[in-house]
A and B are shown apart, each in its own frame.
Chain A
Amino acid sequence: MTAVVRDEGAGVGATREGLVGIWVGCLMLAAMLLAGVLVPWFSAYHPNELVARPFGAPSAAHPFGTDQLGRDVFTRVFAAVYRDLGVAFAGVTLPLVIGTMVGVALATVRNRAVLAVANSLIEAINAMPLLVIAIALISVFGPGLTSIVIILAMTNWARYARIAQTRAKIVAQLGYIEAARLQGYPRHRIFLRHFLPNISAETVAYALSDVILVIMLISGLSFLGLGATPPTAEWGVMMSEGRPFVQNAWWMTIFPGLALCWAGISLSFLAEGLHRREQAVA
């Protein structure tokens, strides 16, 4: 994956490379996941409960203020953690599995015509801006978080298929596959124990940074009114609800936005750290 960028910094003293990123990313993510459990659990309010006057500024009782209906923004922001991250996880895992399978399957295809057609289709899907194709498909499936996961499974596999295919070709020629074959291991064992792990390492690495893009896609679509719908506590929905009042009740928009950034930045640090580490070791 390093035709575009090859990095400096490998070599002497590089063993600690990326550790800070990994630690900071993990801690930020863990803090958020923990708060996602604890805050809704201990909060005095239900995310969809009308608990105070609308548009209340941040205060001791409502640290993030209240929204246009008088719901507690603090509770809602953290009630959305598992919704956003969970949907993102599903929206990344499905394409990851489908794409890896397709890519590995394609790597075994010898027929050049079939390969050319398949690769051209994969390239076409990848050429489509993800958000555009997702929006267009929403017109078919209707708004909703389930639709988004289906759409991601339908479109985003192509990126993983591309990576897995390239990687599979390389791995198939490596010595340890040859060695396993010479040892007389059965084919399925070679495939499951030697072949697949070395391919999925690459696709999983991509998946980690893909989570960031997918979270942005989910919240972006919801922000446009094409994903989760009110009164669901979801960051994009909350930001879109807060948008008309952003001049006076900025907290309705800013806090969900910051939560979104927090999630994105933690994953970004994590992905960056792991990537640097992998490069330093290689």
Chain B
Amino acid sequence: MASNVFLPDKAESGTPPGGSLASRLGVRVARAVGVSFWVMVIAFGLIRLAPGDPVIARLGAEAEPAAIERLRRELRLDVDVFTQFYEYFTSLLRGDLGRSIENGRLVTEIIMTSLPATLWIIAATILLSLVVSVPLALRMAVARGAATAYVFRATTSVFLAVPTFFTALIGLIVLGVHWRVAPVIGYVNDFPANLAYVWLPALVVSTQLVPILSRVLYGSIKETLAEEFVETGVVRGIGRARFQWVYVLRPSLAPSIVLLSYMVGVMIGSTVIIETIFSLPGIGRALVGAVIGRDYPVVQGCVLLFGLFVVAVNLLGDLIANWLDPRVGLT
């Protein structure tokens, strides 16, 4: 199944679980901490990687030397890189991400105001995708006949290859402009009024998530169906619904949860484009705006936040999967 080809790191099983649960938990959390450290280093290193001078890149080569000096001091680029990292690290521990060069707002404040819209889209996407994928995968997996499987695979292959920004534009034309069932632009920042603005973007991202999710789920349900305890369930004469939803589904969910946590990172990538298309005031649009304006502290803050968020979600996904099916290793 091609879907796992998209997932090189999650697809590799680690060493079989050894040691007590507590020690395995400890190792997994320690790994997440190590990865978070590198995420911090990457976010820090990004703007310092520039072959030229980021300050000149922002101000232009003809800028006054005084202005260049001032901005350099403001960004603390006038001290050596180790001092810079020390200051960055310590202010990070205090929860200080610096200020925007563009408008002087605190980066944390920018992030806090734009985070809700993004989280709403992601949450709605996950919910929508689960509601579609779980019954779909279950139906496909218990269906007999090669034709069903064939159509399922071909359809998901097609959906996987359609970029979300194309789907978004089509959705906008058809649902927003022609049928007028979705707002074309804007956002209201409170629940449940925001759902009117969130559902179409969530639907669009789901067109990518549902194929991946249902494929992995389909694969693991097939695998579960081949196991002996399932036969036991059949022999004992358990009702069809209870059999499918309880016996088959729960042990099949673990790989999908791991996948889902991994996909959150990919989804964040799509929300960046989706937010721009739908003019949603999310963190992705903040990032794109900051990149166009070369607002380095904001870029750095967004990258850090996205990275840490993905690391945290991956950790959570592994923990849930391990709880659902202890055979799934934590490391």
Asked whether A and B interact, the reply is yes
Q: A226 to B170, alpha carbons, bound, how many Å?
A: 22
Query: A198 at the A/B interface (Cβ < 8 Å)?
Result: no
> CB distance A166 to B172 under 8 Å?
no
Are B173 and A5 closer than 8 Å at their CB atoms?
A: no
Would you list which residues of chain A between 232 and 269 have a CB under 8 Å from chain B? 239, 243, 246-247, 250, 253-254, 257, 260-261, 264-265, 267-269
Cα distance A251–B287 in the bound complex, in angstroms:
30
Number of interface residues of B (CB under 8 A): 80
Task: Enumerate B282-321 residues with CB–CB distance to A below 8 Å.
Answer: 284, 287-288, 290-292, 294, 296, 299-300, 302-303, 306-307, 310-311, 314
Instruction: List chain B residues, Cβ under 8 A from A138.
Output: 291
Interface size on A, residues (CB 8 A): 69
Chain B CB within 10 Å, residue with most, of A140, A163, A260: A140
B254 to chain A, nearest CB (A): 10
* B-contacting residues, A5-34, CB 8 Å: 5-9, 21
Bound complex: CA of A212 vs CA of B2, how far in Å? Answer: 12
9 cross-chain pairs, A with B, having the tightest CB-CB distances, nearest first: A264-B161, A124-B38, A131-B269, A3-B13, A5-B219, A268-B161, A129-B269, A257-B166, A120-B34
6 example contacts (A-B, Cβ-Cβ < 8 A) are as follows: A21-B157, A127-B314, A212-B160, A253-B169, A268-B160, A272-B157
Tell me the A residues contacting B by CB distance below 8 Å. Answer: 1-9, 21, 116, 120-121, 123-133, 135-142, 159-160, 162-163, 166, 205-206, 208-209, 212-213, 216, 219-220, 223-226, 239, 243, 246-247, 250, 253-254, 257, 260-261, 264-265, 267-269, 271-272, 275-276
Query: Chain B interface (Cβ within 8 Å of chain A)?
Result: 1-13, 31, 34-39, 41-42, 46-47, 49-51, 54, 57, 149, 153-154, 157-158, 160-163, 165-166, 169-170, 172-173, 177, 215-216, 219-220, 222-223, 255, 258-259, 265-266, 268-270, 272-273, 276-277, 284, 287-288, 290-292, 294, 296, 299-300, 302-303, 306-307, 310-311, 314
